[in-house]
Amino acid sequence: MQRSTIKLLLPIVAVTIQGNSASTIIPPYLDELRLPVAAIGSLISLGPVFALVSRLPVGMAYNRSRARMLISLAVLAMGLTNFLYGFAGDAMMFAVVHALNGFAYGAVTTLYMAFYVDSLAPEENRNHAMGYYVGSLALGYSTGNFFGGLIADHWGYALTFQSAALLSLVSVGLLWLLHGSSAPAEGASKAKAGAGLTLQQSLRALLEPELAIVVVVALFLNLLHQMSNVFISLYCLAVGMSLTQIGVIRAAYAGCNAVTRPISGHVVNKLGHKSLSYFGLPLQAAILMLVPLFTGFGAILVVYVASSLMRAIVIVANAVGLVQDVPESKVQRGLASGVYNASGDLGNILGPSVGGLIAHATGIGGVFVIGSLGSTVLFFLVIWRVRRMHHEQSRV
């Protein structure tokens, strides 16, 4: 790894620590406000909704020459909303703050990925660089989850939100210390390739069965992830765990992803990305169904980390499918990547909302059983429909 790449990764690590130290304690914070579990799920889903809304306009506003300024403003806006969480004492106020935070987070992550790729040194291997980028996100998630729970447990929710807000200043400071070089030739060629893509071609590309399968897997992966990630905190509170223990569980989940993703390629090569995409997600769901059987910290930690291991493998398998099964001759690479990420956002939106409805009807433990089982059944039905559509198109 080039030294300039390390400099580029430090700000996004700080941003993810900032975001996750706040998001870790949001479910128990809302629970302390005595909000119904269905309302908690719906309120939390506002973040990814507005993150999704931000991606297209912010991406269009991106320009290499003004990237740092745009990112700095978005990071500071994210820090301000982190600070305001501590004053959101009712559902309406929280909804406004969380929506603004989601928009700012979506803007930061959209802008920073483009800035990161543009700023890579010419001698840096770009395939490896994207692996470093994904790994740094997981590192930030793990660290933020742990310290968020630890600070909240010892000093309260307000100080945790304030600490997250202060981290925005660290992120901006690191950003302006960067001295990365850009890759104008590669960026220019990609812009030229994407310029000729018409609206009709874009809509036709969305109907490609190969892309549809990748999108379905990504959607259900994030739906299952967000549904379990939100309600594991509430379940742990219900069985008497501390906020520090909750932070450790979520940090271990993210840490397992950080370690497993880079080495999952060997598993994918041996077992095949399609079989892992189809059956890895239901296996993760089956593992999550074990959560309500346990109330002890150690047992839940083991079960939840095991589900994280399966998630990491399926994420890598699905990414391989995006490259191997979706030819650029049919679907322009930028469009495929955009649809892929949007499907993940949609899963982030649906997960907390669906989980909230299930928790309201059956209790928090039911989220892990009914939610996981229902997601698996629906996943196979949608995959079956997509494959059938593919066969019908092949006969034509």
State the chain's mean pLDDT as an integer. Answer: 81
Q: pLDDT value at position 199?
A: 47
Note the pTM of the prediction, 2 decimals.
0.68
What pLDDT, in 10s, does the model give residues 85-106?
989 888 899 999 999 999 998 8
Q: pLDDT value at position 15?
A: 92
Least confident stretch, 40-44, 185-189, 303-307, 367-371: 185-189
- Share above pLDDT 90 across residues of the chain, in percent, rounded to a whole number: 26
Q: Which of 31, 44, 43, 21 is nearest to 159 (CA)?
A: 21
Six-digit token string for 179:
């001295």
Say which residue the tokens 């069985």 belong to.
Answer: 239
Q: 207 pLDDT band (50/70/90 cuts)?
A: low
DSSP state of 312: H
Find the helix packing angle between 67-85 and 91-119, rounded to 10°.
Answer: 150
Domains of the chain: 1-195 (1.20.1250.20), 197-396 (1.20.1250.20)
Say which residue the tokens 């493998």 belong to.
Answer: 313
Query: What is the average pLDDT across 302-325?
Result: 82
What pLDDT, in 10s, does the model give residues 151-175?
888 898 989 999 999 999 999 999 9
What pLDDT, in 10s, does the model give residues 346-355?
887 888 888 8
Q: pLDDT value at position 271?
A: 79
Q: 299 pLDDT band (50/70/90 cuts)?
A: very high
Q: Which residue has the higher pLDDT, 390 or 58?
A: 58
**Per-residue 3-state assignment (H helix, E strand, C coil) for 331-373:** CCHHHHHHHHHHHHHHHHHHHHHHHHHHHHHHCHHHHHHHHHH
Q: 334 pLDDT band (50/70/90 cuts)?
A: very low
Give residue 355's identity as a one-letter amino acid code.
G
Residue 250 has pLDDT above 90, yes or no: no
CB burial readout 254-284, b (16+ within 10 A) else e: bbbbbbbbeebbebbeeeebbebbbebbbbb
Q: Which residue has the higher pLDDT, 15 or 39?
A: 15
Q: pLDDT value at position 73?
A: 95
Query: What is the average pLDDT across 203-222?
Result: 77
Residue 188 has pLDDT above 60, yes or no: no
What pLDDT, in 10s, does the model give residues 113-150?
778 877 878 877 655 666 577 677 777 877 887 888 88
DSSP state of 176: T
Q: pLDDT value at position 192?
A: 44
CB burial readout 161-180, b (16+ within 10 A) else e: bbbbbebbebbbebbeebeb
Q: How far apart are the first and last CA of the chain?
A: 49
